[in-house]
Amino acid sequence: MNIKGAGKRRVLTGAATAVVAGATIGAFALTGTASAGATTDVAAVAARDGERGPKPTVVLEHGAFADSSSWNGVVSRLRADGYPVVAAANPLRGPRNDATALRGLLDHVKGPKILVGHSYGGSVISEAAADRTDIKALVYVAAFLPAPGETALELTNKYPGSTLPDALDPVPVTNPDGTKGTDIYIQQDKFHHQFAADVPRNEAALAAAGQRPIAQAALEEKATVAAWKTVPSWAVVTTQDLNIPAAAQRFMAERAGAHVTEVAASHSVAVSRPGVVTRVIEAAARATR
CATH classification of the domain holding 224: 3.40.50.1820
Residue 143, in any domain of the structure: yes
Residue 1, in any domain of the structure: no
Q: Bridge-partner residues for 35, per DSSP?
A: 262
Q: Quick one: pLDDT at residue 18? A: 42
Rounded to whole angstroms, the Cα distance separating 38 from 31 reads 13
123 near 271, Cβ under 8 Å?
no
Rounded to whole angstroms, the Cα distance separating 283 from 175 reads 41
What interhelical angle do 274-287 and 40-48 show, nearest 10? 40
Q: How many domains does the chain have?
A: 1
231: three-class secondary structure by DSSP = coil
Structural domain that includes position 43: 6-287
What pTM does this model have? 0.85
Q: Quick one: pLDDT at residue 51? A: 52
Residue 178 exposed, middle or buried by CB count within 10 Å (0-12, 13-18, 19+): exposed
Sign of the alpha-carbon dihedral angle for 190, 204, 95, 101? positive
234 near 139, Cβ under 8 Å?
yes
Q: Quick one: pLDDT at residue 4? A: 34
Q: Quick one: pLDDT at residue 96? A: 98
Residue 201, in any domain of the structure: yes
**Measured in whole angstroms, how far is the alpha carbon of residue 70 from the centre of its chain?**
11
Residue 133, in any domain of the structure: yes
222 near 150, Cβ under 8 Å?
yes
Residue 252, in any domain of the structure: yes
The residues, any chain, with a CB within 8 Å of residue 60's CB and separated by 6 or more, are 68, 71, 74, 75, 85, 86, 87, 88, 116, 118
Per-residue pLDDT in tens (0 to 9) along the chain, 289 residues: 333 333 333 333 344 444 444 433 333 232 333 444 433 344 444 444 445 689 999 999 999 999 999 999 999 999 999 999 999 999 999 999 999 999 999 999 999 999 999 999 999 999 999 999 999 999 999 999 999 999 998 999 899 999 998 999 999 999 999 999 999 999 999 999 999 999 999 999 999 999 999 999 999 999 999 999 999 999 999 999 999 999 999 999 999 999 999 999 999 999 999 999 999 999 999 999 9
